[in-house]
Amino acid sequence: MDKSLKKIAIITSGGDAPGMNAAIRSVVRTCVYKGITPMGFYKGYDGLINGKMIELNARSVKGIINKGGTILKTARSKDFRSKEGRDKAFKNLKFNNIDGLIVIGGDGTFTGGLIFGEENNFPVIGIPATIDNDIFGTSHTIGFDSACNTVMSAIDKIRDTASSHNRLFFVEVMGRDAGHIALNTGVASGAEEILIPEENLGEERLIQSLKRSKKTGKSSSIVVVAEGDDTGENVYELKKYVEKHLPDYDARVSVLGHMQRGGSPTCFDRVLASRLGVKAVELMIKGESNIMVGLQNNIVEITPFKKAIKGITKINTELLKVSDIMSI
């Protein structure tokens, strides 16, 4: 046990994700439970640099477990990429007698945390939170399940109008370099095709599949496209391509955008955030550093930052097969 641990800093960083507040709440209450003072810094690493912070207590995180966004605000800090910025941050932490840092975010956040921890020999522990679910070492990142549910209900609504007008809809979903949201929501909403960056299915396959759909009597179709899909076409070009080759189709595009990052977290994300927050503080007390806590086979496990950042999260290819069979 690290007896010197008296004060811990907490930040949320990178793209926000539903459940970040639940994670803050969990870290704060675990700190209080263990006799540690939790300090919240605003706007991710920028807050460490400019010293904008607030002392938190069990009551200051009341009523936030069900709230989207993050009460600590977030940012993708440019200044923290420079040694000068990180030195300022370290000075601020030392000046405020802070003994450790818990970062809630995605791979960019962990990359910053790793560099900072190594440079200053300062304890840093990460909690994975991003809707993209693209962090190695955890089956689920906080926010992924909530975003999938938001996308699923949006596509259900799009399906209503698609089938009323006999239309084909291209629905673009988030996931910069990862197809997890597209794949899961595509299956959950009965999409005819799912296009993801990890698998290049090619436009020709899409044309054949849509032809087949028409032949089998389908009057409307949904194609879910991950924003970074590997056809290399953006969703509007894809629509043009299909209209050119299948002029019978009346096609529309719906880009869901940032609404996917908002909203109240699901039960799954609230429970996950609560579990990971407790574990992160417990591990920091034990003297761990430069690691991420994550879920593996429903058990909270540790992954070194280095692995979490470099490792590749594989998509579940079984879902591609399931989608193929379901969309006959």
Which spans of this chain sit near ligand F6P (rule: CB under 6 A)? 15, 106, 130-132, 174-176, 227, 261
Q: How far is the CB of 228 from ligand F6P (least distance, A)?
A: 7
Q: What is the C-alpha to C-alpha distance for residues 281 and 36, in angstroms, rounded to an integer?
A: 9
Q: Is the Cβ of residue 215 or residue 314 nearer to ligand F6P in the bound state? A: 314
Cβ proximity of 221 and 169 under 8 Å: yes
- The single residue of 46, 107, 132, 145 carrying the catalytic annotation is 132
Q: How far is the CB of 259 from ligand F6P (least distance, A)?
A: 11
Cβ proximity of 200 and 226 under 8 Å: no
Pairing label, strands 221-226, 37-41: unpaired
250 counts as catalytic: no
Q: How far is the CB of 171 from ligand F6P (least distance, A)?
A: 15
Q: How far is the CB of 107 from ligand F6P (least distance, A)?
A: 9
Cβ proximity of 115 and 101 under 8 Å: no
Q: List CB contacts of 40: < 8 A, sequence separation 6 or more.
A: 9, 10, 11, 24, 28, 53, 54, 55, 56, 71, 72
Cβ proximity of 312 and 177 under 8 Å: no
Q: Is the Cβ of residue 227 or residue 269 nearer to ligand F6P in the bound state? A: 227
Q: Which residues are catalytic?
A: 132
